Amino acid sequence: MENKRWGVEYSNENLSVDVPPLGPLTGELGVKVWGEGGTDGLTDYGVQGEAKFGLGVKKQGVGFACYFVTTSVKFNARAFADALRR
């Protein structure tokens, strides 16, 4: 039996500000809320946040970006609860 993952995701890719010495700084923020059924019959639930920052250009809905900083934080609620019970 394979793992089944489901959830929702929201991201905002339109974070942009013009900084004269550097040019247009751009960013993307995202949040995922998920559940995943494991082969052990238990379900993991969690939240994941992601952020990207770099330089980019966007004109008339078409854009290009080069992200220099990318970070992700993940929280597994079932693993956290199991750790508290020990």
Q: Which of the four pLDDT bands, split at 50, 70 and 90, describes residue 3?
A: low
| Domain housing 52 | 4-85
Going by C-alpha positions, the residue among 33, 32, 23 that lies closest to residue 68 is 23
The total number of structural domains in the chain stands at: 1
23-52 residues labelled b (16+ CB within 10 A) or e (exposed): eebbbbeeebebebeeeeeeeebbebebbb
What is the pLDDT at residue 33?
94
Residue 42 near residue 7 (C-beta atoms within 8 A):
no
The amino acid at residue 73 is V
Q: 58 versus 3: which is more confidently predicted?
A: 58
- Predicted TM-score (pTM) of the model is 0.65
Q: What is the pLDDT of residues 33-71, one digit of tens each?
A: 989 887 777 788 999 999 999 988 777 878 788 899 999
- In angstroms, the first-to-last Cα distance of the chain is 28
